[in-house]
Structure 1
């Protein structure tokens, strides 16, 4: 209830004479008081409207008792003066108008036909309506907070809902002061600067402070057994007292209950996300779509990109938290992401247009390696999964934080995406049948000891032939033997390996086997052909 509201009621026929200081007409009214005393301030608490007929006031100029009449009312916090004409004065004394203008106190005229009791009732009704509306608003807000408890992620939902209802921001800190959940990706106040305010000595204590123009409320969250669970920090732009403290206190109480069950609920949510992310990567997004709003707040818009995110467990957990705040922002979210742990890696599916935003965030601190697929639709997601997996493997081998599939960075080689130890194991197993086979350049197979000057290992004969791309004469020169002898030895090797040396696939396998094998290589070290 404000003076502007009161003046707007036509039935009262009130007219404004002096506006007072800027904004004075919109300040809430606490009550109405009637007095004819030259100094009614001992009977006022502040916030009232004073009604008077000026029964003891002189008409021409103020006497000594009334010399500071308006300034005393201003100091007492009076919201305005209503002067009733037609009883003692036909009009408001001019000296009172000047005093009210100088003191910044609004002054309005009350005609004789409007009884003061009508104004009193109007103020009382307005205050009552305000109170009812406040109770209704508090009830609605409390119900919205209570409903947050029944969501998949109650802790994050309570924090975000509180920020929305107070018109500011909120964050839950763990007992050491690190952010566990927040309403916004970036908070306007650094939590480290609140270190002193987080030193609570009383269980369930609350503290209030102001920093960087924000009114901040901090609530100590404790379990029923007295264990510190963390701190709820909420802020709103404005002076101290701007925040709805009862609502923040209720959020703290709900968090004390929700945090206890967070471990189990988080495990369930993580497992659910993992299963549903795997289904999306396998091209079954239509099955997942009806649950996506509850799990990820929706699905990203096509075309899409799959991200394989590789790193240590703590880095992957941070990556998961990185995706959460985008989903929890109060503004309309256009940066949706499907994400979850699949086969030891974090996987995310995002809109291709937003992929750069995500990869820049993920690779910012250097602890994560990311492989990104090309653009696909939901039905092509199995291909995107394969591309992102390959790109991630190549990024790991190349020691770079990000590779986009098909981008031309670090041209793909088979050995760059296969673990070297696995390649060596394959090579040794593939060539094991000829590992100890040697030829004597003068007498034929098994004619010399491996360490003899005339001996050559079968692996080196095969490697020379493969490096010469099957040209017998060139391979014979490399090994120092006649081309017919080389051909005979290749037949022995093919029989031992049970391999068809005319098959391109077989020769490709043997080329990599010879390149990485620990057997042979007595002719020369292999080149990177």
Structure 2
């Protein structure tokens, strides 16, 4: 630890006596050096942080006079750490006016007995400073060794970032050349990177900038490759005033990152391709072939029963989501069972234990740019079926406008209307019902009109309109018939016509469509057609 006035006072061999304690905390403030001077104004020879030793050779006993009226005040403004007064040389005791001035200026004051030489105090402080520097060098060496070991991990970039934050006792973020955070020691950083402004604008390769913001001492380093290409920016912060952050350690981390980023990018691409191939093998039912390599690729395989997740969205969002499962990073993965994952055809596929699938999904859904489809429970050999379920669930989530959906979670999951793109369904419906799109039944004739023509249907011109309540569009009749499950009496009550008329209308509709209305497949197709058709546009 740095040499302080408290440490000096604790040295029994010096027999020092504290007279004025000074400002709170001043006794524990590190001393930069010690200086002896009997000058009326020694401030020109001080830089701040020193301990001043004197015997009061030129000082009056009682009245400080004009020469010494602002003596301590000048020293306080200079940043003196304290005053040591040697008694028994020129003064039997410390002058009262000096004590009062130290109390008024909050400057520590202590007495040095006659038998203790100033050189003894000087040597003590000198040894303390030397020990502090030696400890600092040793600490820096240990920290540097830990950083160097980070280069040899499976994910050196992420490890360097997290290890640097641990060693400085603060936070660290790695930004890409566009200024986006790609790695960080904490999920939420106390400072928005966009707020740093000019601190992230560099004109020289490898430049460093230091700022204080919101109670943090912040250092920003420009990271460049040996060829002079900008690789990104390293930003580190430590709570405290400017200068409290361990800048040399952060500088070394920036240097190591400049070497690790390029090689790590190549390794990450190779690892990603291998994971994708093995993930595909698992989803096709070959999990046992993958198991021998799982500890190297994902740090193991999750325990059964399992859940398959299909994560889709923007490419950048998927890359962020993939980092959530990375077992070698400080993330949710550290506290969960292993997850098998890989990118396949622009989607992120993940196999997790069903017991903590909800926690994984919760972590994914913090990013609104992704959509997650979940399968039902399965075992390893049943993964092909679960893959199909996860694919359907994600597709339905996209169609339904929700961010996450579990297969079979709600009514209609996996149904045709949720799986087929709406415009295609409308096109199918319009084509299916085109033969009856202009077919209108005239209620002014037939059994209810008294003209005995059986309510014959007529095809009217496009600009024809019928008085309200005097006609029925064939599509509406078909839709009502389907909703009533083909029960003529129920259709008749709904439409307000005779059941025999319903039978005749349906016979004409079946003939116009050239279909058998007793065929279940035909009925199903007509149901979706009536649901999505734009007909009738006119009644």
Q: Tell whether the structures are fold-level matches, with TM greater than 0.5.
A: yes
1:145 pairs with 2:150: no
1:186-265 aligned within 5 A: 186-265=188-267
State how far apart, in whole Å, the 2-side matches of 1:301 and 1:75 are.
67
Aligned to 1:271: 273
* CA offset digits 1:186-213 (Å, max 9, x no partner): 2222222334333322222222223333
Give the one of 360, 364, 367 matched to 2:365: 360
| Helix, strand or coil at the partner of 1:361 | coil
Contact kept, 8 Å, 1:214 with 1:237, in 2: the verdict is: yes
The Cα shift of 1:49 comes to 1.0
1:115-154 aligned within 5 A: 115-154=117-156
Aligned to 2:165: 163
Contact kept, 8 Å, 2:276 with 2:344, in 1: the verdict is: no
Contact kept, 8 Å, 1:185 with 1:326, in 2: the verdict is: no
Distance change >3 Å, CA 11–CA 302, structure 1 → 2: farther
Distance change >3 Å, CA 32–CA 147, structure 1 → 2: same
The Cα shift of 1:215 comes to 2.4
- Scaled by the length of structure 2, the TM-score of the pair is 0.69
State how far apart, in whole Å, the 1-side matches of 2:371 and 2:292 are.
30
State how far apart, in whole Å, the 1-side matches of 2:256 and 2:180 are.
20
Distance change >3 Å, CA 346–CA 241, structure 1 → 2: same
Contact kept, 8 Å, 2:399 with 2:421, in 1: the verdict is: no
State how far apart, in whole Å, the 2-side matches of 1:395 and 1:525 are.
20
Aligned to 1:438: none
State how far apart, in whole Å, the 1-side matches of 2:302 and 2:272 are.
19
Contact kept, 8 Å, 1:398 with 1:410, in 2: the verdict is: no
Q: Which deviates further from its counterpart, 160-169 or 28-37?
A: 160-169
1:358-397 aligned within 5 A: 358-362=363-367, 364-365=368-369, 368-373=370-375, 388-396=390-398
Distance change >3 Å, CA 525–CA 248, structure 1 → 2: closer
1:410 pairs with 2:411: yes
Aligned to 2:98: 96
Contact kept, 8 Å, 2:321 with 2:364, in 1: the verdict is: no
* CA offset digits 1:103-157 (Å, max 9, x no partner): 1110112223333222222111111111011111111122222222222222222
The Cα shift of 1:99 comes to 0.9
Aligned to 1:177: 179
- Scaled by the length of structure 1, the TM-score of the pair is 0.70
1:340 pairs with 2:341: yes
Contact kept, 8 Å, 2:361 with 2:372, in 1: the verdict is: no
Distance change >3 Å, CA 265–CA 2, structure 1 → 2: same
Contact kept, 8 Å, 2:35 with 2:53, in 1: the verdict is: yes
Aligned to 1:13: 15
Distance change >3 Å, CA 14–CA 383, structure 1 → 2: farther
State how far apart, in whole Å, the 2-side matches of 1:133 and 1:378 are.
55
Contact kept, 8 Å, 2:34 with 2:52, in 1: the verdict is: yes
State how far apart, in whole Å, the 2-side matches of 1:75 and 1:173 are.
41
The Cα shift of 1:272 comes to 4.6
Give the one of 57, 61, 64 matched to 2:63: 61
Q: Between Structure 1 and Structure 2, how many residues are aligned?
A: 440
State how far apart, in whole Å, the 2-side matches of 1:99 and 1:83 are.
14
Distance change >3 Å, CA 104–CA 319, structure 1 → 2: same
State how far apart, in whole Å, the 2-side matches of 1:179 and 1:185 are.
11
Distance change >3 Å, CA 123–CA 340, structure 1 → 2: same
Aligned to 1:36: 38
Q: Which deviates further from its counterpart, 184-193 or 350-359?
A: 350-359
State how far apart, in whole Å, the 1-side matches of 2:281 and 2:96 are.
82
The Cα shift of 1:19 comes to 1.0
State how far apart, in whole Å, the 2-side matches of 1:66 and 1:379 are.
92
Contact kept, 8 Å, 2:218 with 2:235, in 1: the verdict is: yes
Contact kept, 8 Å, 1:326 with 1:335, in 2: the verdict is: no
State how far apart, in whole Å, the 1-side matches of 2:189 and 2:306 are.
29
Aligned to 1:107: 109
- For structure 1, the 5+ residue unaligned runs are 425-466, 469-476, 481-489, 491-509
* CA offset digits 1:234-278 (Å, max 9, x no partner): 222233223222222222222222222233111123235446656
